[in-house]
Structures are given as structure tokens and as C-alpha cells.
Chains A and B, each alone.
Chain A
């Protein structure tokens, strides 16, 4: 138990030490948004008759009529009170938007990562067991294809084949068929909420919607995961302890899975952490193609219309998630290899 307690303390310390970085991100994004050309007030005052008066009014509404340092102080104090401002685009508080959209992005990313890991780790192991063989080359080709094809292309292709041609997949419009009623919101993850509500038909519908976008995202990240698994499995298989294990006649399964893979998994976890964070921010194209109501497409729309509050909120959210993911990865290290401590 002391081990767990110590881990918690260390994790807490890590969290504290990341606060200055978060603050830096906050201020930097704030300034960056204001340095970028493009006046949001002019953009949003684009009704057929909007004139100077309307522009001034929106500027006031967004607080842009004040000097920048003053805006920053107001912004920081708002953040302190848990208020991320209001989006001009959706007309909602940013916090509410993000709270509604983050689960959608997380659900998609987690599923995609799971699919990617389930596919990539065995592929990497198989490739490492027979380096230079046909299997190895096959895996390499598959990975190269996955990386070459941008996610929106694979997304559109999957839609074309499974929805348009075959009619197997449901229409690619968001998390749930528009005709299905939503379960009471508990976690925000539809696949979990439906189960909690005991609505299996709904759960099925939600899963069907999830498959295509998750697969098109997974295709893109299988390559790094499989390649890193292969590389580190090769090192691990060639090491002394595996040779010893083999020589004492341990079963194939025990040698490969228990000894070689467990030792080889550390870099895979690291990469998985990085891949996860990248996916969360970079899956904007998949979100657009599948009309997925996630945070990334929200942030992109906000950026194009110079809507400051959502962009700032998004960057802050991403930075916090990155800190969290790093922490989780470190904790996973400890579990995978007890020799590692996150000090």
C-alpha cells in the first residue's frame, strides 16, 4: 500500500509542478489570439445591415473595447471563477460547450486508440518474431498505407463504401441516429450511458455510429504503434534474459508474452500517450467528415471566425489533458515495469 500512496504523492507533485506551464499556455494563447489579424466583431456583425454600431456593440459584448492588459486580468479572474467566457458562434458559455463536446471527442479517441492498440501490438509482435519475412513486409506495407492516406480520405472512402455503396453503416452524421432518443446523461459517453440506462438498442445504434470514424482514425495511428512495438520487441527478443528463458525451456507463450513483450511495452505506452494527445486535437478532419460534435471541430470553427473564448478554452483544455495523459503514462510505466519510478 505504501507503494500506491507514494505514487499518489508523486503524481500530486507532478500535477502541481505543471501549473506554471498551464499558466504560460493560458497567457500565450490569450496574446496570440489578439495578435492574429481579424476582428471577430466585424466578422460576427455581418447581418445584411450591420454597421458601425453593431460592430461596436459586439466589441463591447466581447470585452474587446478595453485595453489588452485589462482584458487579460479580467480573463484570468474569470478563469479563476471557472468561467471560460461565451462563444459567439454557438451563443453558449464555452465551458458548457466543451463539457458537452469533450465526451464525444474522448469516446471517439479512446475507441480509436483501443482499435489501434489491438491491431498494432500483435502486428508489431508478429513482425518482430519473423523479421524480414513476408509477414514483416506485409505489416510494413499496411502501416505505410495507413500513414500515407490522410484520415479524411480514409474517412470519406469508408463512408463511400460502407454507407453509400453497401448501405451497411448508418448515415455518418454525428454520434447517434437523429431518430433515436438519447439516454439520461451520466458520463457523456453514449456507449456507457446507454448501458447504464439499460437501452441496448440505443447502445447498438451508438456503437454503429462510432465504428467508421474510430476505424478511420485508428488506421492513421496503427503505423507508429506497430513500428515501435516491432523495434522494441526485436531488442527485447535479442536480449540475454530471453535467451536464458528459452534455454531453460520455458513455453513459447511465456517467453514471448511474459518476458519479451512486457519488457518491450514501455516505449509503446509512451507512444500511445503521445498518439492519444495528438489524436484528440488533430482528429478535426474526422470530426468534420463524420459531423462528430467534438471539441476539435469546434475549435477550428472558432479559429476561422476569430472567436477568442472557445479557442482559448480549447487550448487550455488540451494543455490540461496533455498534463493528465503524461501523468497516466508515467503511472502505467510503474505498473508495466516496477523498476521505473516517476520521480
Chain B
């Protein structure tokens, strides 16, 4: 029985020896030219159009593919954020919008090349946009919001010019072309891999890239990591030079505490999905750069199903709105890291502006809440369930307990229900949850877009299941309203209805806390809420 000899001693020695060897310093030079980005999520496809693709896949595609146009950036309270109103050319050298707003003409850069060296032509652009509106992929639903629905709308004028026609002057047509989905694909390469069943090469593009983006995919391990190499010829950045980092490593690290350790030790350069408590302690230590931007295109809210009793009664919804413990929730769930959407004062009782999301004049006022309950004919209160999904537990769990405690004071008995993510989305889709918390995000955060998508129709994103013809009509009208003052007026009307009907209660816009090494510069909060690797550089 040899295996019980002196192995323990040797194994202990070996363990100690293993631990004593520090990391090899040989990669030190390339390290500065490499961006290591760690994330709790993962990239699951190289084509963001594939149903089921993750947010990390969206961010990756921004660097591996170019679009016709891109969003500019602006400073909001001293932090860089994407700017919906400044649209600059990416593959397009310049673009024109016809005076009636029905024709968009894009002139392509003459020097733009795909990663295989072939030039980017108007044919490629047409094929890519056709794919986006024709193939059964995610881009279809997105482009629909910009009145881009059919391949007939895209016309090749000459090899470097493409024209897009619109049925109506839709303000969102141009911004839509800057979103993730309408990326420009090398159509010659893609067509080689198309099959009769799959004419748009979706299967092949899921695992391969054929773009003109700033980075070339070097290795792709779904669910683990992606390594990108800089395309030296790429010049679509702001200063006509390639992206800063030679290599980008996108790595999945599921444990948030480990991500915090990595960035603090300097092994990772940037991370955007840490727990609020970790961000706070890292910020206090002051070694790292922490850029907190309220996610101004995202909202967390408490929703009530307006079709299920007792929430079909507007006074019950108002009672809830005045019984929520806003300040405590804001502190317990977010550590105050975000922009509150409660506690406003409307001196004349009217919305301050026509922008959604708006800060509402609600605050914790239990007497008022009791009055509303009485008005609803439920002075004794009622019992209900409050649901949230496991994925959001770190913020939603403390929130739920506070909701329960506070509502108990006005006689409403709340059972907390924690649901696995897939179950939660199923129940929301089937409109079965009476009372729950969720978050929404819009890539193109305009008032009418929010109201059309999240407050109308019998569809999944209408969380509160509100059916108010007035909202639907005004939002639809505002969509094509060219006059800014009138648009603003429509927005005010919508916000006023929202406040009086109280279909759901917007709570706050959580911060995107980007924690990075102090040498990292240029971080910008993007519409897809991930890091755009092209933005950042090292001092």
C-alpha cells in the first residue's frame, strides 16, 4: 500500500511552492496594450441578431462590425454619455436627409475596407439592411420602430451611395441605423456560406464574423471568453486612427466579488457589473476610477397589473404610490447609486417637462395612502403577492421586504415571491403577475418610444397592461410630430396622464457603475449599457 507513504509532506510542500511562484512578468509589455474586460455575463453569438443573444454579444458586435452611422457623445453632469441627437457617419462619410424627411442618402467612405481587405460597397450595405428587415432575426423588430420594414426601401445609387426611403418622416429611422442590429456585413463572404434553408447565412455568422469593424475575433469560446485583435487598417474612430488597444480580452467571471478583486488588483482593466456595495467600498479606497452614470435610458419600477383586481382601481394604484418607502428602498437596494424618479414637486400640479422618464411628485405619505384606499372601497386593505426575479435579487430582495413592511402599515398584506428568471418572464408575458418589480431599457429613449412600447397594446412589454386609448393616440401622433414644441406638449400630456392613472410607479434610474484602472480613459456610457471597447484608451 504505497499510497500512504510520505505524500502528505510532499503535497504540502508542492502546494506552498506553487503558491509562492508569482505571476510570470514576461507579458508585461503587451499587458499595457491589452484591455482586459471582465463581466458576469457572456458572449453567446458573434451575430447580435440571433434570437437569444446576450447584451455582451451586442457590445462585442459594436467592435467587430461597423454601421452606416454612429451616435455621438455628450457630457451629462460631467460624464460622457451617448448622444441620441448627434449622429455621425461611421461607414458613411456623410449623409443627407431630404427636406421632407422621406429620403436618407448615405455616401460611403472610399477607404473603408472589410477585415479581409475587400472594399465596403453599397451592395454590401443593401444586402445587410435587407437581411435585417427580411430574415427572421432580432433586427426586424428593432428597425420596425424606425419605419424600416422592407427591402424595397434600400436602393443602391452607385457603388458608394445608398438611398433609404421612408413611408413617413420618422425621427427614429436614422438613429435606428446606429443601433446594434443593422451592422454592415461583407455580403460576398456571407453569401458563400448561405444555404437554401438559410439564405441570410445566420448559422454561419453566429460563429464567424465578416465585418469591417475595429477588432477581429481571434478566439471565441462561448460562455467563457473572446479575444479580439485590433484591425490596423480601421479608421472609423474619431481621430482617423485605429482603436487604441491592440488586444481586447472579454472574459466571463460569474462571481461579482472575484470581479471586484480582479479590478482592484489591477489584473482586470474595467468592469461595469459589480455589486453596489463593492463599488462603494472601491470608490472609498480611491485607488480606482469609478464613473457612475445614471442609466438615463433605463428605469426600474414597481408595476401593477391594471386589469387584475384590486389594481384595476386607480385609487388602489395611487394608494400604493403613496405607501412605498421610497427613500429606504433607494438606500437599501441601490445604496443611493442612481437618479430617483420620486419626490418631485410640481408647483402647479403639472409635469415639469415632456420628457419620459420623469420625476413624479410622489413620496411616502401613509395618511394619503389610507385615504386613497378608503376611496377605493378597501379601507381594510387586501392581500397580494409581490414578485421579482432571481437575477435581480441583490437589489430586489431588500426592496421587497421594505415594500412588504410599509404596505402592512396601511393594511395591505404582501407575500414575497422570488421567481427564476425564465418563470418570471413567462408569467409577465401571460399577464399573470398582479404586483411586481421590473426594469426596462430603451435604446432610443424618446418619450413617444417609451409610451408606445411600454404603455400600449396587449403585449409583453406593457407590464402594467394599461389600456388607455388616449395614451395610445397621443404617443402615435407624437411619433411623427416634426414640430419640437408640439412634441414637447404631447410629452407633457402623456406624463400628466401617467401620473393621474398611475399604471405603474417608476422608482429610479440605477447607475451604471464603471470601475476601471486609473489609467483607463474615454469611457462612455453607451445605449447598449456595455463598454464599447473602441471608446477607451490607456494613459
Q: Which residues of chain B from 45 to 64 have any CB-CB distance to chain A below 8 Å in the complex?
A: 45, 50-53
Known contacts A49-B144, A119-B8; A92 and B222 CB within 8 A of each other: yes
- A309: chain B residues within 8 A (beta carbon): none
Q: Within the complex, which residue of B249, B257, B441 is in contact with A48, where a contact is CB–CB below 8 Å?
A: B441
Is B97 an interface residue, CB under 8 A from the partner? no
Q: Within the complex, which residue of A117, A178, A208 is in contact with B18, where a contact is CB–CB below 8 Å?
A: A208
Residues 181-219 of A, flagged 1 when their CB comes within 8 A of B and 0 if not, give 000000000000000000001001101100100010000
Is B145 an interface residue, CB under 8 A from the partner? yes
Closest B residue to A158 by beta carbon equals B19
Number of residues in B with C-beta < 8 Å to the partner? 72
Known contacts A43-B421, A51-B460, A168-B19; A291 and B255 CB within 8 A of each other: yes
CB distance from B441 to the nearest CB of A (A): 6
Known contacts A40-B422, A201-B24, A293-B224; A58 and B51 CB within 8 A of each other: yes
- A298: chain B residues within 8 A (beta carbon): 223
Q: Which residues of chain B from 83 to 142 have any CB-CB distance to chain A below 8 Å in the complex?
A: 136, 138, 140-142
Is A37 an interface residue, CB under 8 A from the partner? yes
Known contacts A173-B251, A208-B18; A125 and B4 CB within 8 A of each other: yes
B423 A178 Cβ-Cβ under 8 A: no
Q: How far is the CA of A92 from the CA of B145 in the complex (A)?
A: 31
B251 A178 Cβ-Cβ under 8 A: yes
Residues 25-46 of B, flagged 1 when their CB comes within 8 A of A and 0 if not, give 0010011001010100010110
Q: How far is the CA of A167 from the CA of B429 in the complex (A)?
A: 48
Looking at B65-73, B261-269, B300-308, B324-332, the stretch in contact with chain A turns out to be: B261-269
A39 B138 Cβ-Cβ under 8 A: no
A162 B19 Cβ-Cβ under 8 A: yes
- A167: chain B residues within 8 A (beta carbon): 22, 265
Is B21 an interface residue, CB under 8 A from the partner? yes
Q: Which residues of chain B from 4 to 24 have any CB-CB distance to chain A below 8 Å in the complex?
A: 4, 7-8, 11, 15, 18-24
CB distance from A290 to the nearest CB of B (A): 8
Interface of A is mostly: helix
A42 B224 Cβ-Cβ under 8 A: no
Q: How far is the CA of A92 from the CA of B223 in the complex (A)?
A: 10
Q: Within the complex, which residue of B45, B429, B442 is in contact with A55, where a contact is CB–CB below 8 Å?
A: B429
Is B225 an interface residue, CB under 8 A from the partner? yes
Looking at A24-32, A74-82, A257-265, A317-325, the stretch in contact with chain B turns out to be: A257-265
CB distance from A184 to the nearest CB of B (A): 14
17 extra interchain contacts, Cβ-Cβ under 8 A, other than A118-B11, A306-B422? A38-B420, A42-B425, A42-B460, A43-B426, A51-B460, A53-B140, A54-B138, A91-B50, A118-B7, A168-B19, A178-B227, A204-B21, A211-B18, A261-B1, A262-B1, A291-B258, A303-B420
Q: Which residues of B contact A (CB under 8 A)?
A: 1, 3-4, 7-8, 11, 15, 18-24, 27, 30-31, 34, 36, 38, 42, 44-45, 50-53, 136, 138, 140-142, 144-145, 206-207, 221-225, 227, 249, 251-255, 257-258, 261-262, 264-265, 267-268, 390-391, 420-423, 425-427, 429, 441-443, 453, 459-460
29 contacts between A and B (CB under 8 A): A37-B426, A43-B421, A47-B142, A48-B142, A48-B443, A49-B145, A50-B138, A51-B460, A53-B141, A54-B141, A90-B222, A91-B45, A91-B50, A91-B207, A115-B11, A156-B255, A156-B257, A164-B261, A173-B38, A173-B251, A173-B258, A174-B251, A178-B36, A178-B225, A179-B30, A179-B31, A258-B1, A261-B4, A291-B258
Q: Which residues of A contact B (CB under 8 A)?
A: 37-40, 42-55, 57-58, 61, 88-92, 97, 100, 115, 117-119, 121-122, 125, 156, 159-160, 162-164, 166-174, 177-179, 201, 204-205, 207-208, 211, 215, 257-258, 261-262, 265, 288-291, 293, 297-298, 301, 303-306
